[in-house]
Structure formats: structure tokens, C-alpha cells
Amino acid sequence: MTPLQRQILDLLTEDARRDIRLLAALLGEDEAVVRDAVQALEDDRVIVKYATVCNWSKIDPQRVTALIEVTMTPERGRGFDAMAEHMYLYPEVRSVYLMSGAYDLLVEVEGANLRDIATFVSSKLSTIERVLSTKTFFVLKKYKQDGIIFEQRTKDERMSVTP
Amino acid sequence: MQRYIVPRVQSIPPSGIRAFFDLVQSSKDVISLGVGEPDFVAPWHVRDAAVHTLERGKLAYTPNAGLIELREEIGQYMHDRFGVHYEPTSEVIVTVGGSEAIDLALRVLVQEGDDVLVPEPTYVSYAPVTTLCGATPIPVSTAEHGFVLTVEALERAVTPRTKVLLACFPSNPTGATMTREQWLPIAAFAKQKDIVIISDEIYAELTYNGDPISVASLPELRDRTVVVSGFSKAFAMTGWRIGYACGHRDIIAAMLKVHQYTMMCAPTTSQWAAVQSLREGRADTARMVASYNQRRRFVLTSFAQMGMQCHEPTGAFYAFPAIASFGLSDEQFAKRLLLEGKVAAIPGSVFGIGGEGHIRCSYATSIQQLTIAMERMQAFVTALRVEMPE
Ligand SMILES: Cc1ncc(COP(=O)(O)O)c(C=O)c1O
């Protein structure tokens, strides 16, 4: 990764809608250079996707997120990868992490309501072969995600004109 | 009760910034490029450190010169960053913002009958505070040399009664910086004329064309310079009211004498926060400076695209484009930009001679806001050109 690519990533993770022209101006580079750098990041799947961070609870208060700790027996030769894949292919699953410590996978699941998630865990997750146990924790409120604070608390407090 | 006010205060003209502020306040949906302070808030670890000292009740007066911990950190910082050594116990004073340091320095160095050379356009407090001391501010124009101070300009302005040169680089409002090479002849000049330099280096960290320099790092100027600085800009701590001055022990001792009777000490909580900034906040400063630099480039690119001339600012967070070619005065331009373009920028003439025909645009505002502001300015100048006679 070049220093330029690093700066581009910082600017795009702040706001993915910044276009090549703006990036070039901010970084003092030619647009062509910036375009190539972004292209390389996309090709290498360093930039995976340009997505929108939503605070769903604003429009859908019923919607719930749960974090599920899963313990399982690893598969000979493949470890946890196959089982992780088995889980992340479910659209309900928002993220899957392999963890160190007391459990193996941390699975984030989203559902329309509590029952949805309960059903998903009992009928889909727990029944996966080699799953030993699950522990489900419901998220009550999301304060910050991926470095983005949901409640805008940094209103510009400055006076409009100062020396 | 006007007749009770002493003539010296009456003689100070009302602030041009203030007048413009009132106008901006009365306008709606304006994006302001008139803000002379960072758009960052002090990093959380700094605020947290302040809260911690509040909780523990560390709220007594500090020594007049400031917490020794803070003076030691300032001494270390001046050494690390600028290569100048100051003795924390005798050559550093902690003040209520850089503002108080400017006031103290002028008060102990000039009085009735003395002249102070003030390179202009510059920060708005220098001339009034000089007047309050009974001395006379002598403007020195920098506009002819890209807003950089030259010996030629100083020679033209200097008087036999000149005692002080009050310089501010990186400059508010022009963003100009000065190199060591450009300071060298001025050092000789100061020595020859026996002039003390008050160097307001509050924007020093915000230097974009190389490492920041301190005037005091020129050996021949070390004892002849009072460095004034503070935490407002580099550490985004404006409302904390915390600054400092460094200089020869005799001058600092004199400043301390005034400070102990007029101020006692700088705010205690802010002093602890400043200690935290210097100990662990330098990476935050680097991050903020990198961000200002991006916005600086964006604004310059935008000005170039709209055909607006602008000296490349290499410091602070201001751009100072020339607008004289539009056939309007800077006041007229700024007023119409505000009312028609919905962008606030400060008329350059409030910053003294050489400021006329320019506007000060602060880019310490979000990229999103800046983008809209630049689009509005583009539309505004396009419309202006249409109405201009060929
Ligand atoms: C050049 C300059 N000096 C000094 C100050 C005063 O800063 P403070 O008193 O907040 O340290 C300012 C603030 O705008 C400034 O621009």
C-alpha cells in the first residue's frame, strides 16, 4: 500500500461519496493518478464495497440485532472456515468473526423482531453440525459502528465570525 | 457615561470584524469561512484529562508563571520542535491565551513615545493593544512581497523611536510563512536598530511547506525575541484560554510581574489539559494539520478554477484571495458574497494596509461545507463577471 492509497482510504472511509475530482484536489494529485490508485484498491479488494451506514432503529424500532457466541468443534484440515461460510451465507447474518478466547465464532444477526432471531438461532445456527453451544445477546442500542457515532453530538459550536 | 471613558480607549476604532459578525448573524443559511478557530474539538484524551483533574479537585491557583509541569513540557516542546532551549523556571510564562502574552509583552516593552512596527495585513489585536500601551503602531506593508516581510519595507517604516517589531508568521490572515533565509536579513536589521521582536507563532504547527520554524531559533535573535504562542490553534483549544510566552529571563520576569497582579495565573484545569496535549497530543496535531492541508489544497484548486488569484498560503488555515479585479472593494465584495452568494468571508481591509482588495477565507470547516461554499463562490463570481463592464 502506498501513502497515497492510505490517504485515499482515510478520505473514503469518512465519506464514500467523495469523487475522484475532490480526492485529487484534497491530495494535490492528478485525477488520473488518484483514479489508478482507487482502481488498484478495488482490484485488490482492499476497497470491498461502497456502502451506506444506516441507523435502522430510526425507521424500524422493532428491528433487532443480536451478537451470538458460538462454540464448535473444528473440522480436521479446514478449521472453522467451512462452518463460518455456512453461517455467513445466511442473509440474516451481518458479520462473522473468528475469535480467540472462550468461544470460537462471534456472529451478528439481524432480524425483524426478537422471535425472528430466536427462530434463526434454534432452527438454523444450533443445528449446524459441530456447533456445541450458542449464547445470544440482544443489542439494546447502537452508539457507534465502524468508527461512526450514530448520534450527532459534535454540532459546530463556533461563532460564525472570529478574528 | 461616554465622557468617563479615557481618550486612549475612545481613540481605538470599533472592530471591523465585529461589524461584519453582526451582518453575518442577521443572514440565514450562510456557510461561514469567517471562523478563526479550528473546527476540531480538543481530542477526547485531553478533555478526559481535564475532567480527571476536576474530579480530583485540582482547582487551586497555580504558581503565577504556571504549573511547573506545564512549563517543563513547553520547554521540552520548544526544544524538540524548534531547537530552542528555554529554562522552564525563568524563561517560560503560561498565560491566558496567546492574547494575554501579546498584551504582557507589549506592556513591558513599550510606552508613550515608542513605536511598534506591525507588518500588515495582520492579526487585529496588535495595533489596538499597542495603542493601549500609549505607543504608536507603525504599519509595514508586506503586500508587495507576497505578504512576506522584507528589510526594505522595514527600512521604509522604521523610526528612531522604534522599539519593537510585532510579527506573525504563519500569518493570520494571509497564510504566509517565512523561511530562515528570509529572517536572516531581518535579524541583522533588528540588531542594528536595537529592536526587540515579538513573534506570534501561534500557527507555527500549521506549516505546510516544510518544518515549522521559530524566529528565536536564529541564534542572533534568541534573546531579542519574545515568542508568543498557545494551544488554541495547534491543539484546538480556543475556549480553554491557554497560551504562553518564552524569551529572555529579564523580559519574562517583567511579564510575570504584570501577570501576577492582573491575572494571578492561567486557568488551572486548562493548564492540566495543556500538559496532556503536549505529552500525548502531538500525533493529534499532526493528524489535524494533515487534514487542514487537504482542505487548503482543495480551496486553492477551487479558486484557480474560478479564476480567482490567490497567493499560495503555506501556513495557518486561511487563504487570502485577491478580488480587486472584480471592480468592487473588499467590503463590497464580502457583503455581496454574503447576501447574494450566502458565503461569509472577511474583508481583507480589517487586517490593515495591504489587506484591501482581498478577502480572508478560513478553510477550518468540513470538506462537505467547503465543497458547497466553493460551488456558491463559483456561481457568485460567474454572475459578477457577467455584470462587469468589458
Ligand atoms: C495570530 C493570532 N494570535 C493570537 C491569537 C489569540 O489566540 P489565543 O488568545 O486564543 O491563544 C489568535 C486568535 O485568533 C491569532 O489568530
Q: Which residues of chain B carry a pLDDT beneath 70?
A: 390
Given a contact cutoff of 8 angstroms between Cβ atoms, the answer to whether B204 and B61 are in contact is no
Q: Any idea which residue has 542594528 for its cell?
A: B192
* Backbone angle region of A55, left / alpha / beta, with phi > 0 → left and psi within -120 to 50 → alpha: beta
CA distance B116 to B193: 13
**Does pTM surpass 0.90?**
yes
CA distance B337 to B177: 28
Residues of A in contact with B25 (CB under 8 A): 160
Query: Pairing between strand A93-98 and A105-111?
Result: antiparallel
Compute CA B134 distance to the chain's CA centroid, rounded to the nearest angstrom: 22
Q: Residue B27 is which amino acid? A: S
Interface residues of B toward A, Cβ cutoff 8 Å, are 15, 17, 20-21, 24-25, 30, 32, 34-37, 39, 41, 123-125, 172, 294-295, 297-298, 301-302, 344, 346, 365, 367-368, 371
CA distance B113 to B291: 45
Instruction: Check B17 against A25: CB less than 8 A apart.
Output: no
Supply A72's cell numbers: 464448535
Q: Which residues contact B234 (CB under 8 A, 6 or more apart)?
A: B202, B203, B204, B205, B206, B285, B288
A100-144 pLDDT, tens digit per residue, is: 999 999 999 999 999 999 999 999 999 998 999 999 999 999 999
State how far residue B100 is from chain A, nearest Cα, in angstroms. 15
Residues of B in contact with A160 (CB under 8 A): 21, 24-25, 30, 32, 34-35, 344
State how far residue A59 is from chain B, nearest Cα, in angstroms. 25
The string of DSSP letters for B285-303 reads HHHHHHHHHHHHHHHHHHH
What pLDDT sits at residue B390? 63
- Measuring from each residue's beta carbon to the nearest atom of ligand 1, which residues come in under 6 Å? A 163; B 36, 97-99, 123, 168, 172, 200, 202, 230, 232, 238, 243
DSSP-assigned letter for residue B350: G
Dihedral over alpha carbons B94, B99, B102, B107 (to 10 degrees): -90
Q: Which residues contact A158 (CB under 8 A, 6 or more apart)?
A: B35, B37, B39
Given a contact cutoff of 8 angstroms between Cβ atoms, the answer to whether B121 and B148 are in contact is no
For CATH 1.10.10, list the domain ranges present in chain A.
3-43
Q: Residue B345 is which amino acid? A: A
Q: Report the separation in Å between the CA atom of B305 and the middle of ligand 1, taken as the mean of its atom positions.
A: 31
Q: Residue B58 is which amino acid? A: K
3-state SS class at B135: coil
A81, B172, B335 from B35: Cα distances, Å: 53, 12, 16
CA distance A104 to B250: 68
| Residue closest to B218 by CA, chosen among B255, B181, B251 | B181
Where residue A154 falls among pLDDT bands split at 50, 70, 90? Answer: low
* Nearest neighbour of A160 by CB, restricted to B25, B124, B298: B25
Instruction: Check B298 against A26: CB less than 8 A apart.
Output: yes
Distance between the two ends of chain A, CA-based, in angstroms?
A: 41
A37-49 pLDDT, tens digit per residue, is: 999 999 999 999 9
Mean pLDDT calculated for residue range A85-101: 95
Strand partners, A131: A72
CA distance B384 to B341: 11
| Residue B102 alpha carbon, nearest atom of ligand 1 | 4
Instruction: Check B41 against A161: CB less than 8 A apart.
Output: no
Strand partners, A77: none
CA distance B337 to B147: 24
Residues of B in contact with A161 (CB under 8 A): 17, 20-21, 24, 32, 34-35, 344, 346
- For residue A94, with 0-12 CB atoms within 10 Å meaning exposed, 13-18 middle and 19 or more buried, which class applies? middle
For CATH 3.30.70.920, list the domain ranges present in chain A.
57-141
Q: Please compute, for residue B310, the number of CA atoms within 13 A of its CA located in the half-sphere on the CB side.
A: 27
- Whether residue A84 is predicted with pLDDT greater than 80 in this model: the reply is yes
State how far residue A111 is from chain B, nearest Cα, in angstroms. 34
CA distance B255 to B252: 5
* Nearest neighbour of A27 by CB, restricted to B123, B294, B346: B294
3-state SS class at B266: coil
Supply A88's cell numbers: 455467513
Which 3-state string (H, E, C) describes chain A? CCHHHHHHHHHHHHCCCCCHHHHHHHHCCCHHHHHHHHHHHHHCCCCCCCCCCCCHHHCCCCCEEEEEEEEECCECCCECHHHHHHHHCCCCEEEEEECCCCCCEEEEEEECCHHHHHHHHHHHHCCCCCEEEEEEEECCCCCEECCEECCCCCCCCCCCECC
**What's the CATH class of domain A57-141?**
alpha beta
A9-62 pLDDT, tens digit per residue, is: 999 999 999 999 999 999 999 999 999 999 999 999 999 999 999 988 889 988
Q: Does domain B2-41+284-385 have CATH number 3.40.47.10?
A: no
User: Has the ipTM of the complex gone over 0.85?
Assistant: yes
Where do the DSSP E strands lie in B18-114?
31-32, 92-95
3-state SS class at B71: helix
Compute CA B133 distance to the chain's CA centroid, rounded to the nearest angstrom: 20
Residues of A in contact with B370 (CB under 8 A): none
Q: What is the CATH number of domain A3-43?
A: 1.10.10
B371-379 contacts, C-beta under 8 A, 24 or more apart: B371/A22, B371/B298, B372/B31, B373/B31, B373/B33, B373/B343, B374/B298, B374/B299, B374/B302, B374/B306, B376/B31, B376/B341, B376/B342, B376/B343, B377/B302, B377/B306, B377/B308, B377/B337, B377/B341, B377/B343, B378/B302, B378/B305, B378/B306, B379/B341
Ranges of each domain in chain B:
2-41+284-385, 44-280
State how far residue B360 is from chain A, nearest Cα, in angstroms. 10
| Residue B122 alpha carbon, nearest atom of ligand 1 | 1
Instruction: Check B298 against A25: CB less than 8 A apart.
Output: yes
Q: Does domain B44-280 have CATH number 3.40.640.10?
A: yes
